[in-house]
Chains A and B, each alone.
Chain A
């Protein structure tokens, strides 16, 4: 049995962040019913990558990755009949996850008060860029805007040019992983501690970045300690001995062997290169530092990433090859692992994670509406004809 096998989630989210959160729980066994707009479905169905670059609404790699193991039903939220289906599913669910603009669910007659009246133990989890309150709550957002306002973008890159955004979707995925944690904890409460009220969780993606362990939270406290702005871009050419990214024979490596770790770097370089290196005391001088870097650059230039990593393993030097997604895909193939579905963010005992494809649009209409809600085939026909499903 998987951990969340008893959990029931009604998922009204679209795109990347919300679907990634519920995908993590679906892969851990949760029953997730995903509600999509008839005909068009989740916008991620139109986003690549597609196999062989051939777009098809049932073939989006992104959609399948984000919706693996969920059940898809279609419902028109702009019709009263469609909304009644959502209301019925909200009574089945332990938790309803949504990412509409603040207030939208209330105007549909499906706000927290409505849901709580129907399901007195419901958890409503709302995901919005800036939260449901405050002056920014009505702001328009994209991933880049959120990264600028809540992330560490001001510190990305070098001081000679403008800061840069992280690769596409990465911070949306990160926010999704934060939301998964924020959903998992109350699910544990509903399922096993038994004591809870109906709860509305108002989550802000911007705040999930501000609170994060990527140094932003630390910078916010450091600013109050010192009055200094320190989350800024580094100078071009800035070099700390034994620390940073360096070129080697077939690519790059990342090394973190300055300061207290310098003795290990000196031991490794001495043994591997056979060259005379400065002592720890000499390493504090400008001359000593240049000498270490000189030997390091030369040694790296003669060795591949793998050779360098092997040496680092022997000498316990913090170091890693800079791999590309192509390298990772190749490594996974060589281990007979799927590149497309099996990327669990942690490891546990066998059977803990499940791997599946995403659902076809409305694939589970009959199962959910017929089996779960008891809507007769005749009534389903009516819904189809009215464009509700």
Chain B
């Protein structure tokens, strides 16, 4: 009789994370999704920016974040509340299923607690600037003397060797350095405008999670620890192989293509009824083209001989786009998606946040996890992109509050004496409230 549930493979793995934003915390979040117990080490003196833009934003600052479109610094109803560090999106989105302990790495007692904690764990995930790691004494060479089989996963924008060691940068700089920025957009003009997304952090967290798991596999065989180095830039370069191969094989400098495709036309975003509503349509072959014409009702322009072949459609791409946009403009994007998909034509609404949160498909998939958080209330949290049969049964914890698990870590995990722990609390070396 097979078990009724799928036991998560990393259930016996414990991870310590010392991270700021995006790539670091998402790496350990991916490991938590596979069952790892993640303990987040934080400081009440220096929150590292990961729990919000500042500790106590005033109303003017919150309004300016809102006006600037900085949604990742959003608070529920744009109210920072009394404990903003437990409410900001940038933290909450990856904070589920993690524990939080505070300690001060710059104090001897804090470093000693950190080293004791490492001894109970399998892995350390860090994404501080490389020279900050050195300054704190968190080098792999030193930490492996503390714990010889430690797996250390360290993430930086440009890696940890050579000139890059001094460099500072965020996801956007890693993308620029990796060749991604120069390839995106309708034309070179778009270079000058940053998107409000950071692809390098997504690419980097996947690379780091793969590095982390492969190091666990390696250690299960030879008992040895491992240093895994992530450069967000290199992580993006590995996803741009086709353009690099073209540069190497044909000395060709690829340039931004916008929505044009080497083999498909029509191919792009078409405007629909309403404000900022778009439908992406892709015609892969003659069959898709016939089906599209059928769906539109065979207007005269679709019957032009030139458009019946893939070559002709590629050559007359602009004309098709104009006609097609005239048609899509008067239709609802979702209705049009259903119509075209019903005819077998690849078409997808450019989904905004509301579309996803209200999507019946996403609801039926059970993608979102409903969690209730003491400070922010009940929300749907993005979950995993895989479902298993048999299913996983586990209780996912709401995002951890600052220092929420201090008692558990110091008393249960580290076996601190009651008097020692009380002393740390009294001297504010451990706490649940930022100190400045």
- Residue positions of A touching B, CB distance < 8 A: 1, 3-4, 6, 24, 28, 48-53, 61-62, 65, 112, 116, 120, 130-131, 133-137, 139-142, 144-150, 152-158, 161-170, 173-174, 177-178, 180-182, 184-193, 195-205, 207-208, 210-226, 228-232, 234, 236, 238, 240, 243-247, 252-256, 259, 309, 312-314, 316-329, 339-340, 343-349, 352
- What A residues does B78 contact at CB under 8 A? 226
**Of residues 138 to 161 in B, which have CB atoms within 8 Å of A's CB atoms?**
157-159
- For B181, give its contact among A205, A254, A328 (CB under 8 Å): A254
Shortest Cβ distance from B87 into A: residue: A225
* Contacts known (A254-B173, A346-B207); A144 close to B246, Cβ less than 8 A: no
Q: Is B238 an interface residue (CB 8 A)?
A: yes
- What A residues does B242 contact at CB under 8 A? 48-49, 61-62, 65, 168-169
Query: 16 A-B residue contacts at CB 8 Å?
Result: A1-B221, A3-B215, A51-B249, A62-B241, A142-B284, A148-B348, A193-B9, A210-B356, A213-B94, A213-B204, A226-B77, A254-B169, A254-B175, A320-B167, A323-B179, A325-B246
Interface pair A170/B248, CB less than 8 Å apart: no
Interface pair A320/B176, CB less than 8 Å apart: yes
Other than the given A61-B242, A328-B237, 7 more pairs (CB < 8 A) read A3-B221, A116-B2, A165-B259, A166-B199, A186-B34, A198-B2, A246-B192
Interface pair B93/A229, CB less than 8 Å apart: no
* Contacts known (A49-B249, A229-B353, A229-B354); A217 close to B382, Cβ less than 8 A: yes
**Of residues 177 to 218 in B, which have CB atoms within 8 Å of A's CB atoms?**
177-186, 190-199, 201-211, 213-218
- For A218, give its contact among B90, B192, B215, B367 (CB under 8 Å): B90
- What A residues does B261 contact at CB under 8 A? 144, 168
Q: Is B136 an interface residue (CB 8 A)?
A: no
Q: Is B220 an interface residue (CB 8 A)?
A: yes
How many Å from the CB of A114 to the closest CB on chain B? Answer: 14
In the docked arrangement, what's the CA distance between A135 and B362, Å? Answer: 9
* Contacts known (A191-B217, A320-B176); A214 close to B198, Cβ less than 8 A: yes
Give the tally of cross-chain contacts (CB within 8 A): 511
Interface pair A149/B176, CB less than 8 Å apart: no
In the docked arrangement, what's the CA distance between A28 and B218, Å? Answer: 10
How many Å from the CB of A294 to the closest CB on chain B? Answer: 17
Shortest Cβ distance from A48 into B: residue: B246
Interface pair A204/B241, CB less than 8 Å apart: no
In the docked arrangement, what's the CA distance between A219 and B252, Å? Answer: 37
Q: Is B244 an interface residue (CB 8 A)?
A: yes
- For B390, give its contact among A180, A199, A243, A320 (CB under 8 Å): A199
- What A residues does B259 contact at CB under 8 A? 144, 162, 164-165
Interface pair A245/B248, CB less than 8 Å apart: no
- What B residues does A343 contact at CB under 8 A? 234, 237-238, 241, 244
Interface pair A134/B361, CB less than 8 Å apart: yes
The 9 closest A-B pairs by CB, nearest first: A189-B9, A223-B353, A254-B176, A148-B280, A207-B385, A339-B248, A320-B173, A230-B71, A213-B26
- What B residues does A52 contact at CB under 8 A? 249-250
* Contacts known (A164-B190, A326-B247, A345-B238); A223 close to B354, Cβ less than 8 A: yes
In the docked arrangement, what's the CA distance between A150 and B159, Å? Answer: 29
In the docked arrangement, what's the CA distance between A213 and B201, Å? Answer: 6
Binary flags per residue of B261-303, CB closer than 8 Å to A gives 1, else 0? 1101001111100001011101010000000000000000000
Q: Is B253 an interface residue (CB 8 A)?
A: yes
Shortest Cβ distance from B194 into A: residue: A244
- For A202, give its contact among B184, B256, B389 (CB under 8 Å): B389
In the docked arrangement, what's the CA distance between A12 and B175, Å? Answer: 32
Q: Is B436 an interface residue (CB 8 A)?
A: no
Shortest Cβ distance from B262 into A: residue: A168
- What B residues does A212 contact at CB under 8 A? 26, 202
Interface pair B207/A340, CB less than 8 Å apart: no
* Contacts known (A134-B364, A188-B216, A231-B71); A154 close to B22, Cβ less than 8 A: no
- For A163, give its contact among B201, B203, B253, B269 (CB under 8 Å): B269
In the docked arrangement, what's the CA distance between A211 and B23, Å? Answer: 13
How many Å from the CB of B316 to the closest CB on chain A? Answer: 19
Interface pair A204/B365, CB less than 8 Å apart: yes
- For B227, give its contact among A178, A326, A349 (CB under 8 Å): A349
Q: Is B324 an interface residue (CB 8 A)?
A: no
- What A residues does B276 contact at CB under 8 A? 154, 232
- What B residues does A238 contact at CB under 8 A? 193
In the docked arrangement, what's the CA distance between A134 and B368, Å? Answer: 14
How many Å from the CB of B305 to the closest CB on chain A? Answer: 26
- What A residues does B353 contact at CB under 8 A? 219-220, 222-223, 229-231
- What B residues does A192 contact at CB under 8 A? 217, 220
- For B217, give its contact among A3, A147, A216 (CB under 8 Å): A3
- What A residues does B344 contact at CB under 8 A? 140
Q: Is B30 an interface residue (CB 8 A)?
A: yes
Interface pair A346/B211, CB less than 8 Å apart: yes
In the docked arrangement, what's the CA distance between A229 and B252, Å? Answer: 39
How many Å from the CB of B193 to the closest CB on chain A? Answer: 5
Of the candidates A116, A153, A200, A224, the one having the most CB atoms from chain B within 10 angstroms of its own CB is A224
Interface pair B194/A177, CB less than 8 Å apart: no
Q: Is B346 an interface residue (CB 8 A)?
A: yes
Interface pair B385/A4, CB less than 8 Å apart: no
Q: Is B432 an interface residue (CB 8 A)?
A: no
Shortest Cβ distance from A232 into B: residue: B276
In the docked arrangement, what's the CA distance between A259 and B365, Å? Answer: 40
* Contacts known (A145-B348, A147-B280); A225 close to B77, Cβ less than 8 A: yes
Interface pair A6/B221, CB less than 8 Å apart: yes
Q: Is B16 an interface residue (CB 8 A)?
A: no
- What A residues does B203 contact at CB under 8 A? 174, 177, 345
Shortest Cβ distance from A180 into B: residue: B210
